[in-house]
Amino acid sequence: MRAILFPGQGSQYKGMGRGLFPAFPAETRLASDILGYDIEELCAQDPRRQLVQTQFTQPALYVVNAFHYQKQYAGAPPGFLAGHSLGEYNALLAAGAFDFETGLRLVQKRGELMAAASGGGMAAVIGLSAGELQSLLREGGYDDIDLANFNAPGQIVIAGKKESIEKVVEGFKAKDITIMPLAVSAPFHSRYMKPAAEAFAGFLKDFSFNPLRIPVIANATARPYEEEALVELLSTQIASSVRWVDSIRFLMGRGVEDYEEVGGSILSRMVKDIRAKCTPIMEEKVVLQAPVEHKPKVTLKAEPPSASIKYPSQEREPAARPKPVAEPNGTLATRLGSAAFREGHSVKYAYIAGAMYRGIASKELVVRMGRAKMIGYLGTGGMSLNEIEDNIKYIQSQLTQGEAYGMNLLHHLTDPVFEMKTVELYLKYGIQRIEAAAYMQMTESLVYYRLRGLRRGTGGEVVCDNKILAKVSRPEVAQAFMSPAPEKIIQKLLDKELVSQEQAELSKQVPMSHDICVEADSGGHTDGGVALVLLPSIQRLRKDIQVQQNYAQPIRVGLAGGIGTPQSAACAFVMGADFILTGSINQCTVEAGMSDEVKTMLQDINVQDTAYAPAGDMFEIGAKVQVLRKGVLFPARANKLYNLYQQYGSLEEIPEKTIRQIEKNYFKQSIADIWEQTRAYFTNRGEPEEIEKAEQNPRHKMALVFRWYFGYSSRAALAGDMEHKVNFQVHTGPALGAFNQWVKGTELERWQNRHADQVGARIMEEAALLLENTLKAIGKE
């Protein structure tokens, strides 16, 4: 049996494909049109020395690989296909997953996202097994290094932060271990590429794929692609190890004897080494497990449990219309969701007002919620430690009777010191609830917070004083929060004497978080997830982990994203949500820290009045935020800046007319002035390396200048500076538009009458009424 292999990045060279382009004139023209440059000139001549740059390398290799395969192998399909990293796209093309144009657009975006990543490095280690290499890295304390490529026996590529890679290279050379730094701009196929993988996952949603005609071995699993997992594997591949050794071992176990490499010999040498030194993988079949859909029964304590619910005709007047409620419907409304959640937090409703950055979820909002026996989280993102401390003091001076409240804790990938100082501040003031956001994995700060609140109760049970509300939009992140704290991090904390041995032991009996909030598409940073898909998947995951770990207390799974009306709240509880969390609708309340001018704009929006724009804090990788579109130009202008960043290599390359337009309309000042402000900002923060990097890398300088616009647009909105209204950046989702339509014609139509606690209570009471009426209607059938 035969397998055809496609090489990836590193196999490019000047002159590649020289004789192929004339044989495929239509495809060559199409590729040049899509890419915006002459693909034949790039591959054959490389006049501007761009072939080594990831955003050019990947499309070039894809095109040349495709032409090679079409010319040599199209008439004789093999038994299997495989590709190394980028080469996997050519394998999928050959298998019929997509056509040439679609594949090129995917590769173009992938290359751009991976090129935008920076701050890391890679190195090839020769002569060590994976186990030996991992032991050495562990002994050296290199916890931030990943094994990126398993290329051949004794040939493994590592990836990580640049300074860590440099230390490893120096240390290994001192031990006479062969290690070679690679000329790359980022730590590909490692945890540090997760933002790029997430952005690519969002991009993939616009594409559909065909069934595979030939089995393709996936780098991430070393097993054949399962069609339902194709999108997931394409996105995760960017941040996953390339398991090339196991891929070939799998093919060996399937009886493949003939391995033919398209257009090169790099992979052929690896295969020869693997076949000589490794045994085949013989299992019959490994299926990638997709989440099992879980449809919970609806159990409402006010009525007998119902195995299924039908919704009555909507010809009648919906019960969700807000009306004055003389006597609060305090029976079912206060029993929706999880009783354990309400009791654990001492709140009336299973309802949360979530954190919104820069204090939009303000101290006044948190206090108002607490006094109403509800819970709100302070939006600490963008605040200094002194600002956070002042807010804590205010809240604690107002809530003196044990009322519930919490603080936001944002993951700081590039500034773990600030994250730890924030946790230390929370522990200093006895903050017992935090909302953990933007986490992809557990960090030392997060584990420190959790463990410091563990103790034995009077009955010997484990008591968790420090509660973490984990906002997640991916099952693997949910799994990390549902699991006990990682032992490696615990050991670090023990070594630093930050936690006790008893706390370390107790941590094995509890998850990192008892409250998991599934975040579907929402205002601000968003993965665009669908609640109907995400919630059942993570509920099933919860069930499996609960059985596996045998926790004494159950994990609670709630829902956020798109909740702004009683109907949406009722749907969440019918799906089995233990609690709900709202965000956008609270931004347009009296207590919110947003400017009055923006609140007036927000009270009139509808569900179609939001748009997606680049995220300023993750500008280079194209991550998205959902923002206000009506009455502002920010989304269009932000996307224009990102397109310019994608199209040009420096500010100097942008046409002068475009620069003048940006300075006049977007920035309201010259780019030179903005650069001086940017220099001063990083100098004051003690980060001169950012300035040095920008001065050496024109594209990075362009990114920093463009990112200034995102900070300015947020500040203008928060200040309500109407002179700059068109540039307002306001994070919000369509849930607010739905809320506005619901309250139209009532006292809540004007934001001056909206109070966060009353809005929450009204939604819960009306959701309960809607469900009661639904059940009554079913009983009459």
- By annotation, the residues acting in catalysis are 85, 189
**Tokens 């009455």 belong to which residue?**
631
End-to-end CA distance of the chain: 63
Q: Give the SS3 label for residue 340.
A: helix
Residue 320: CB atoms within 10 A of its CB come to 20
Distance, C-alpha 202 to centroid of its chain: 10
| Three-state SS letters, 29-76 | HHHHHHHCCCHHHHHHCCCCCCCCCHHHHHHHHHHHHHHHHHHHCCCC
Q: Within 13 Å of residue 184, how many CA atoms lie on the same side as its CB?
A: 28
For 7, 55, 71, the CA distances from 21, given in Å and listed in that order, are: 19, 20, 11
**Please, which residues bridge with residue 612 across strands?**
626
- What are the tokens at 461? 């049970």
Q: Which two tokens stand for residue 239?
A: 């941040």
Length of the chain: 781
Please state, in angstroms and rounded to a whole number, the distance separating the CA atoms of residues 84 and 245. 11
* Residue 378 DSSP class: E
Closest CA to 453 of 491, 502, 419: 502
For the chain, what is the radius of gyration of the CA atoms? 28
What type of residue is 705?
Answer: V
To the nearest 10°, the Cα dihedral for 507, 511, 513, 517? Answer: 170
> Which residues make Cβ contacts (< 8 Å) with residue 48, sequence separation at least 6?
none
User: Which residues does 39 contact at the CB level (< 8 Å), separation at least 6?
Assistant: 21, 28, 31, 32, 59, 60, 63
Per-residue three-class SS string for 561-630: CCCCCHHHHHHHHHCCCCCEEECHHHHHCCCCCCCHHHHHHHCCCCCCCEEEEECHHHHHHCCEEEEECC
Three-state secondary-structure class, residue 406: strand
* Backbone dihedral angles phi then psi of residue 361, each to the nearest 5 degrees: -80, 90
DSSP secondary structure letters along 133-155: HHHHHHHTT-TTEEEEEEEETTE
Q: Report d(CA 448, CA 434) in Å as an integer.
A: 13
Q: Specify the residue for token string 């991916």.
A: 474
Q: Which residues contact 716 (CB under 8 A, 6 or more apart)?
A: 724, 725, 727, 728, 729
> In 3-state terms, what secondary structure has residue 4?
strand
- Largest Cα–Cα distance in the chain? 82
Rounded to whole angstroms, what are the CA distances from 721 to 358, 674, 715, 756?
16, 19, 9, 24
| 429: nearest Cα among 444, 404, 407, 462 | 407
Q: Identify the DSSP state of 748.
A: G
Degrees, nearest 5: CA angle 8-11-13: 135
In the chain, the amino acid numbered 377 is: Y
Residue 552 to residue 539: CA distance in whole angstroms: 18
